[in-house]
Structure 1
Amino acid sequence: MSGRAGRRGQDLLGDVYFFNIPLPKIGRLIKSKVPELRGQFPLSITLILRLMLLASKADDPEDGKAKALSVLKHSLMSFKQPRILEMLQLYFMFSLQFLVKEGYIDQEGNPMGFAGLVSHLHYHEPSNLVFVSFLVKGLFHNLCQQTIKGSKRFSEDVMEKLVLVLANLFGRRYLPAKLQDVDIKFHQSKVFLDDLPEDFSAALHEYNIQITEDFASFLQIVSKLADMKQEYQLPLSKIKFSGKECEDIPLVSHLMSCREGRVAISPFVCLSGNFDGDLLKPGVSDHVILRTVGVSFNQAPVLCPWRLDSLGRKMPLNAYALDFYKHGSLVGLVQDNRIHGGEAYDLLKDFGLTIKSISVSLRELCENEEDNVVLAFEQLSETYLEKLSKV
């Protein structure tokens, strides 16, 4: 556990008390190196949308704006770091541009459309943003079709496909890749979640490409804030490859010249022939980006449909949400899906509440009471929570 003694930015010294700790361990703690404390990236697109909602929907508009600004101005990550603060300001502008482009806020910053739904599902970013993109493109309307004309109920096939899509978005729990190569007999569950249907998969690919292009443009802008002295320095040996002393070495001069025409790419990564255009490729490693910028591809609202392990093998998604919908057995999830009973119930409860939140939000937003998507989500929410209540 790491922490600090004294008040941040005020006390140069602080007191540390050791209680009921053996003396040899105290000696090791005192002599050990001080760990480097790093905070998480403080902003996200959904957080900024929620702040815009706070500023516009507050009973006292001035108080709402003051609270929103207090969150943006007092980030511990940018404490006494003007460069990081400027980067966060640029990320804020990128987020606003994204929200306007996707129709979540208007030109005046007022929330609109599905802003409320996205903010309700803030803990599922970027899946919440992908879900709305599917909704806007009409994919759920194409899926939710009654088999009997005039009926308000949907077939099990439609419900299972709907759960499959939602599980790929909101039930993303990975399994070890090696399980696919082992001959294991599953009794109740399918365990490995199928990929998204073709139309949803194509829409996700299109969404990721567009977001990656926008984020690559943002990286090119924010790269101006990079500390190029550190970028030209090896992290471990601290050997520098910049300055007049390196200009006299033909090999170093030749290698470093490869950075010409590159803006947002690390000078050492340029040696491998990478260009700024490589930032447009989904799944680009963070090692390609200038490391002193303080931002990575994790801040891009991109949903990668797959993940690779350390050996480069594709890790399958756990089908626990869909399996439970089919057999309704918590025991089956424990035996086949390799999830502890208590954890499995919490995961299912979270998934069920997510469906409920979507159902309620769609009912409030939709003026047509007979809309197929609204009816389908209401049916799914009722069925899923009913099965969960019987566990």
Structure 2
Amino acid sequence: MSGRAGRRGQDLLGDVYFFNIPLPKIEKLIKSNVPELRGQFPVSITLILRLMLLAAKGDDPEDAQAKVLSVLKHSLMTFKQPRVMEMLKLYFMFSLQFLVKEGYLDQEGNPMGFAGLVSHLYYHEPSNLVFVSFLVRGLFHNLCQPTRKGSKHFSQDVMEKLMLVLAHLFGRKYIPAKFLHAAVKFHQSKVFLDDLPKDFDDALHEHNINVTQDFASFLLIVSRLADMSQEYELPLSNIKFTGKECKDSQLVARLMNHKEGRKAISPFVCLSGITDVDLFQPQTVINHVVLRTIGINGNQAPLLWSQRFDNKGRRMPLNAYALDFYKHGSLKGLVQDNRIHEGEAYTLLKDFALTIKSISVSLRELCENEDDNVVLAFEQLSTTFFEKFNKI
């Protein structure tokens, strides 16, 4: 056991106490190089929404605002890197703009609408945002039609279609592409999840287009924080492509000729003809084309793709474990057919059941109409799923 040598950012000196550690190991630790600590990207859109909820709903407004600022300011990622702090500020502004545009915050920054539901499902970002977009568009109301007018019961077909949509959002476990066309027999499960219904898939595509355009605009702004001295340098050999000594290089000449119309695109990607305009296209893989010293990648954009491909261009199907379990209620079936370890399958099913329950309770609290079809459908689905889950 050892103590920490001071408080980061406050103490220049500190003491470390070693207890029950052999002297040779202590000597090795003292003489070894100090490891470099690197923080991960500290914020997400849902986290910022939760912080805005804290600031707005806190009993002590000043204390709540101080806690929010503390979370935003004291990131390990920004330690001794003022450039990163500026980038995080810009990402915060992008997130606020997105939340206002999507109706989660008003112009004063106060939470509204489905802000509580989205923040409660924070661990499922961006699926939580997509779910609410489906809800606002009325897709779930179109789907959740009872067996007959005035009834509060929904058919098995409606429930399974609702499960299919929810599995795409909250049960995303991929299967290696090689199994898609393998000659494997399944005894109880279907294993490969069917595509989203067309109306939901079209809405998801439109959501991705809108998010891509907003995020691309953000990248063009934050690109001003890039370290261009590193951008014009090969990462392994550290050969620079700027300066008089490189003016006769054909590669350098071509790189410099492609600077027009490119602010956020890597100089080397420019050689393939990609411009800033391509950032606004959904098919553009942001991580492959953007300036690498910005510190931003596509994971910070709330995009949810209906299809995913491996490094060989083969489609990776989603595992239908949640829908399969809803149909047959067998944990052993998931182990045998879906190839999921029993302990993992139990954990996945429990998480999925709690997600449905959270949505059901939130919708009941938000909806003034006690007989709303979507609320009733989620309550029926949650009850049925938990009954099956409690039997395993």
Query: In 1, distance between residues paired with 2:312 and 2:31?
Result: 37
1:99 CA drift (Å): 0.3
Task: Give the structure 2 partner of residue 112 of structure 1.
Answer: 112
- Is the CA contact (8 Å cut-off) linking 2:38 and 2:76 kept in structure 1? no
1:299 CA drift (Å): 0.2
Task: Give the structure 2 partner of residue 377 of structure 1.
Answer: 378
The 5-angstrom pairing of residues 196-211 of structure 1 reads: 196-211=196-211
1:13 CA drift (Å): 8.8
Task: Give the structure 2 partner of residue 181 of structure 1.
Answer: 181
Query: In 1, distance between residues paired with 2:15 and 2:190?
Result: 56
Task: Give the structure 2 partner of residue 150 of structure 1.
Answer: 150
Query: In 2, distance between residues paired with 1:14 and 1:282?
Result: 52
1:15 CA drift (Å): 6.2
1:215 CA drift (Å): 0.2
Query: In 2, distance between residues paired with 1:30 and 1:335?
Result: 52
Query: In 1, distance between residues paired with 2:76 and 2:170?
Result: 30
Query: In 2, distance between residues paired with 1:316 and 1:5?
Result: 49
Instruction: Give, as a single letter, the amino acid of the residue that structure 1 aligns with 2:130.
Output: V
What's the TM-score once normalised by structure 1's chain length? 0.93
User: C-alpha deviations, 1:148-181, integer Å up to 9, x for none?
Assistant: 1111000000000000000000000011111112
Query: In 1, distance between residues paired with 2:113 and 2:215?
Result: 23
1:256 aligns with 2:256: yes
1:277 CA drift (Å): 1.5
- Is the CA contact (8 Å cut-off) linking 2:255 and 2:267 kept in structure 1? no
Query: In 1, distance between residues paired with 2:149 and 2:226?
Result: 61
SS at match of 1:378: helix
Seen in structure 2, the aligned counterparts of structure 1 residues 142 and 262 have a Cα distance that, compared at 3 Å, is same
1:247 CA drift (Å): 2.9
Task: Give the structure 1 partner of residue 288 of structure 2.
Answer: 287
Which segment drifts farther, 246-255 or 145-154?
A: 246-255
Query: In 1, distance between residues paired with 2:183 and 2:46?
Result: 42
Task: Give the structure 1 partner of residue 61 of structure 2.
Answer: 61
1:232 aligns with 2:256: no
SS at match of 1:181: coil
Which segment drifts farther, 238-247 or 375-384?
A: 238-247
SS at match of 1:308: coil
Instruction: Give, as a single letter, the amino acid of the residue that structure 2 aligns with 1:232.
Output: Y
Gaps spanning 5+ residues in structure 1: where?
none
User: C-alpha deviations, 1:287-315, integer Å up to 9, x for none?
Assistant: 21111111111100000112222222111
1:280 CA drift (Å): 1.7
User: C-alpha deviations, 1:154-213, integer Å up to 9, x for none?
Assistant: 000000000000000000001111111211110000000111100000000000001001
Task: Give the structure 1 partner of residue 95 of structure 2.
Answer: 95
Seen in structure 2, the aligned counterparts of structure 1 residues 160 and 241 have a Cα distance that, compared at 3 Å, is same
Which segment drifts farther, 339-348 or 107-116?
A: 339-348
Query: In 2, distance between residues paired with 1:58 and 1:106?
Result: 17
What's the TM-score once normalised by structure 2's chain length? 0.93
1:261 CA drift (Å): 1.8
1:243 CA drift (Å): 2.3
Which segment drifts farther, 282-291 or 201-210?
A: 282-291
User: C-alpha deviations, 1:187-242, integer Å up to 9, x for none?
Assistant: 00000011110000000000000100100000000000001000001100000001
1:122 CA drift (Å): 0.2
Seen in structure 2, the aligned counterparts of structure 1 residues 250 and 155 have a Cα distance that, compared at 3 Å, is closer
Task: Give the structure 2 partner of residue 301 of structure 1.
Answer: 302
Seen in structure 2, the aligned counterparts of structure 1 residues 238 and 14 have a Cα distance that, compared at 3 Å, is farther
Query: In 1, distance between residues paired with 2:231 and 2:64?
Result: 40
- Is the CA contact (8 Å cut-off) linking 2:144 and 2:373 kept in structure 1? yes
Query: In 1, distance between residues paired with 2:30 and 2:76?
Result: 26
Query: In 2, distance between residues paired with 1:225 and 1:208?
Result: 26
Seen in structure 2, the aligned counterparts of structure 1 residues 333 and 152 have a Cα distance that, compared at 3 Å, is same
Query: In 1, distance between residues paired with 2:244 and 2:18?
Result: 50
The 5-angstrom pairing of residues 297-336 of structure 1 reads: 297-336=298-337
1:7 CA drift (Å): 5.2
Instruction: Give, as a single letter, the amino acid of the residue that structure 2 aligns with 1:355.
Output: I
The 5-angstrom pairing of residues 63-78 of structure 1 reads: 63-78=63-78
Task: Give the structure 2 partner of residue 354 of structure 1.
Answer: 355
Seen in structure 2, the aligned counterparts of structure 1 residues 293 and 324 have a Cα distance that, compared at 3 Å, is same
Query: In 1, distance between residues paired with 2:38 and 2:272?
Result: 30
SS at match of 1:314: coil
Please report the RMSD computed on the Cα atoms of aligned residues, expressed in angstroms: 2.4
Identity of aligned residues (%): 75
1:31 CA drift (Å): 10
Instruction: Give, as a single letter, the amino acid of the residue that structure 2 aligns with 1:171.
Output: G
SS at match of 1:150: coil
Instruction: Give, as a single letter, the amino acid of the residue that structure 2 aligns with 1:100.
Output: V
Task: Give the structure 2 partner of residue 170 of structure 1.
Answer: 170
User: C-alpha deviations, 1:64-87, integer Å up to 9, x for none?
Assistant: 111111101111111121100000
Query: In 2, distance between residues paired with 1:162 and 1:259?
Result: 49
Query: In 2, distance between residues paired with 1:271 and 1:14?
Result: 53
Task: Give the structure 2 partner of residue 215 of structure 1.
Answer: 215
Instruction: Give, as a single letter, the amino acid of the residue that structure 2 aligns with 1:115.
Output: A
Seen in structure 2, the aligned counterparts of structure 1 residues 91 and 343 have a Cα distance that, compared at 3 Å, is same
Instruction: Give, as a single letter, the amino acid of the residue that structure 1 aligns with 2:86.
Output: E
Seen in structure 2, the aligned counterparts of structure 1 residues 225 and 144 have a Cα distance that, compared at 3 Å, is same
1:256 CA drift (Å): 2.0
Query: In 2, distance between residues paired with 1:305 and 1:289?
Result: 23
SS at match of 1:116: helix
Which segment drifts farther, 172-181 or 33-42?
A: 33-42
Seen in structure 2, the aligned counterparts of structure 1 residues 250 and 191 have a Cα distance that, compared at 3 Å, is closer
